[in-house]
Amino acid sequence: MSAPNSSIGSWQSLLSRAMDWSSASTDLSVINCSFALAFCFLAYTLSSYNTNSKSADRVYELPGSSLIHAWFFFYRRFDFIQKKFKESGGRPFRFKVLQHRIIAISGEKARQAFFSEATLSLSQGYRILTGGSPDLKDLELERISGKDLQREVDETFVRKILSLVRRDRIADTLPSLLDDCEQLMNNWGIEGRLNPFEEIYLLVFQMTVRMATCRELAEDKKAFKELANQYWIIQNCSTPISLLFPWFPSPMKKRKDKATAALYGLLYSFVMLRRNSPRPSTDPIDLLIAQGDSDENIVGTIMGVIFTGVINTGIISCWTLLYLSSNEEWKQKAEEEIRTMLDNHNLSGSAEPLHRRLASIPLNVWEDELPSVDLIIRETLRVVGAASIIRRNVQDEVVVDGILIQRGDFLTYQVADAHMNSAIYTDPGKFDPSRYLEGREEDKKETFSFLGWGVGRHPCAGMRMAKLEIKLVLSLFLLGYEYTLVDKSGKFPKTLPRPDRNDDLHSRPLGDPCYLQYRKRSEEW
Ligand code: HEM
């Protein structure tokens, strides 16, 4: 996801946190450690220059300090991986991030194995990106217990997510999602300028809270604001230092711990509220209570959905609007398609406001009758999604594309290797949804050429919910407003926005911020 500094990229860090929380191992515990220890650790890592450069296999060993590699891996991962592939002449390469060994791979065969191999763990992989610092001891524990504990945690978490985003649940919640968006959009007034990475995110945040918690929280403006505040503090405190040295008691780390505790406490209070309610509802918290989950696990699952959902769906919603703002042909197609859907299926009277008319359209119509919008979302995912996906070998040695991967090793695959590959996609940097149409079908050229929703063993569990949310935002915005892309001086920008591939969390545009200048349309049509 930051999946793709990109959506998959952001997704990585968020899902990982979700996994931690879902297994009730929140990062609330502050590890007490002295500066002396920090210096010892630093000295150790600085001294660990790679000594294994005479490897017999075809993997290039990166020369240099593991601390420097670690720094660039956390700080500018996209550039680091790209640059090192150039240095290795396109060969897979190996380096260390502190005590962990990471192997970067590329190409179709490697990609196929990476996404299909059962011994490569997704959640163990992502933990390294969020300061979870997985330890070989974790793997030993699993071996001793005789079963694959990590996979059990993963599967339980995915099952819980799937139970929350069931088709019937989404269909029932659809009108409330549109009401939520309408309320927030009313604050925009008749015309103005908005930063999509703030205002559109907020719409997605509100919808995600509705989909993952309960009516009381989704409709409590004060609690919602508090939730959003703490969430952003946690996100903004995830600096390379805090990820590299998660035990280091920096001010950022303390802020993050405080915000995590506050977020946890807030969600916990709503779990209690629902648990003590005499009348169970069909809201997600009640659903999890009915499944017999402990309070801690319920909070963990909710945090998982919020952290996984908001960033990725937010990023893709923003970029879809940005790309359409400079592509009149596809903007028109999307508008016409949504309007036709509205004309054909709107059950409520035409005097109703737009969001009510959209709310009366059945879920299957949203899913099946917007083919151009589907292509637009797919192309946005491809262009924005370029970050590195991580796995860890949690079982015995395994061979991936001819490379021996030891137990405990990490593997990384950069999504750009497929999404920005000119042998697969013509002019890959160009936003062009028609590349998927019959006759071209560029995404079918190689195995797993399109990775936007995950492939192989770990397809995205929240895709249905995410796609619908993006379509709701697009419909409300395209039909409700006229809009143009502007820079801070109010003019159409000289260069079109491009995602910052090293902004793992948000995929914001490179350079100056850009805005959407909007004017509300009359609802007469
Ligand atoms: C536009 C929004 C989203 C995008 C682009 C996206 C993308 C992805 C990708 C690329 C993967 C595979 C990652 C890998 O192979 O390492 C994935 C997996 C996953 N996603 Fe999403 N995702 C989105 C929204 C969501 C939402 C809203 C949820 C939760 C409700 C969610 C839950 C998950 C889970 C649980 C997995 C792991 C599945 C497994 O391990 O089997 N995603 N997603």
Distance CA 422, CA 441 (A): 14
Query: Percentage helix, strand, coil, to 5, in the chain?
Result: 55, 10, 35
Residue identified by tokens 């309408």 is: 182
Closest ligand 1 atom to residue 7 Cα is: 5
Q: Is 305 in the pocket of ligand 1 (CB under 6 A)?
A: yes
The pLDDT of residue 409: 93
Radius of gyration of the chain (CA): 23
Closest ligand 1 atom to residue 154 Cα is: 40
pLDDT digits (tens, 9 = 90+) for 416-448: 999 999 999 999 999 999 999 999 999 999 999
CA–centroid distance, 164 to ligand 1, in Å, is 14
Which of 227-257 are b and which e, b meaning 16 or more Cβ less than 10 Å from the residue's Cβ? bbebbebbbebbebbbbbbebbbeebbeebb
Does the domain at residues 7-520 carry the CATH identifier 3.40.50.20?
no
Distance CA 206, CA 213 (A): 11
Report the nearest-CA residue for atom 31 of ligand 1.
462
Tell me the residue type at 210: R
Closest ligand 1 atom to residue 381 Cα is: 5
Nearest in space to 130 (alpha carbons), one of 286, 268, 21: 21
Distance CA 18, CA 157 (A): 8
Q: What is the DSSP letter of 51?
A: -
CA–centroid distance, 453 to ligand 1, in Å, is 6
CA–centroid distance, 460 to ligand 1, in Å, is 4
CA–centroid distance, 158 to ligand 1, in Å, is 10
The residues near 83 (Cβ < 8 Å, ≥ 6 apart) are none
Name the pairing type of β-strands 120-121 and 398-400: unpaired
Q: Is 303 in the pocket of ligand 1 (CB under 6 A)?
A: no
Distance CA 196, CA 507 (A): 12
Distance CA 34, CA 27 (A): 19
Strand ranges inside 109-185, DSSP E: 120-121
Report the nearest-CA residue for atom 6 of ligand 1.
453
Report the nearest-CA residue for atom 18 of ligand 1.
460
Report the nearest-CA residue for atom 7 of ligand 1.
453
Which H helix or E strand runs over 492? none
The pLDDT of residue 42: 33
Direct distance between the N- and C-terminal alpha carbons of the chain, in angstroms, rounded to an integer: 38
Name the pairing type of β-strands 410-414 and 100-105: parallel
CA–centroid distance, 313 to ligand 1, in Å, is 10
Distance CA 454, CA 429 (A): 20
Residue identified by tokens 């009108």 is: 175
Report the nearest-CA residue for atom 4 of ligand 1.
312
Q: What residues in the chain have per-residue pLDDT under 50?
A: 1-56, 133, 525
User: In the structure encoding, which two tokens stand for residue 449, read together?
Assistant: 């050429």
Report the nearest-CA residue for atom 22 of ligand 1.
460
CA–centroid distance, 260 to ligand 1, in Å, is 22
Q: What is the DSSP letter of 415?
A: T
CA–centroid distance, 467 to ligand 1, in Å, is 11
The pLDDT of residue 285: 97
Report the nearest-CA residue for atom 27 of ligand 1.
309
Distance CA 13, CA 506 (A): 11
Q: Half-sphere exposure (CA, 13 Å, Cβ side) for 72?
A: 15
Q: Is 301 in the pocket of ligand 1 (CB under 6 A)?
A: no
User: What 3 state SS string does 26-78 have?
Assistant: CCCCCCCCCHHHHHHHHHHHHHCCCCCCCCCCCCEECCCCHHHHHHHHHHCHH
460 is in an annotated binding site: yes
Domain ranges of the chain: 7-520
ipTM of the complex: 0.99
Q: Is 319 in the pocket of ligand 1 (CB under 6 A)?
A: no
The pLDDT of residue 348: 66
User: What 3 state SS string does 224-269 have?
Assistant: HHHHHHHHHHHHHCCCHHHHHCCCCCCHHHHHHHHHHHHHHHHHHH
Strand ranges inside 268-359, DSSP E: none
Angstrom distances, CA of residue 168 to CA of 164, 171, 390: 10, 5, 33
Nearest in space to 462 (alpha carbons), one of 314, 324, 291: 314
Instruction: Output the CA torsion sign for 336, 337, 343, 344.
Output: positive
Distance CA 434, CA 95 (A): 39
Q: What angle, rounded to 10 degrees, do the helices at 35-47 and 66-75 form?
A: 110
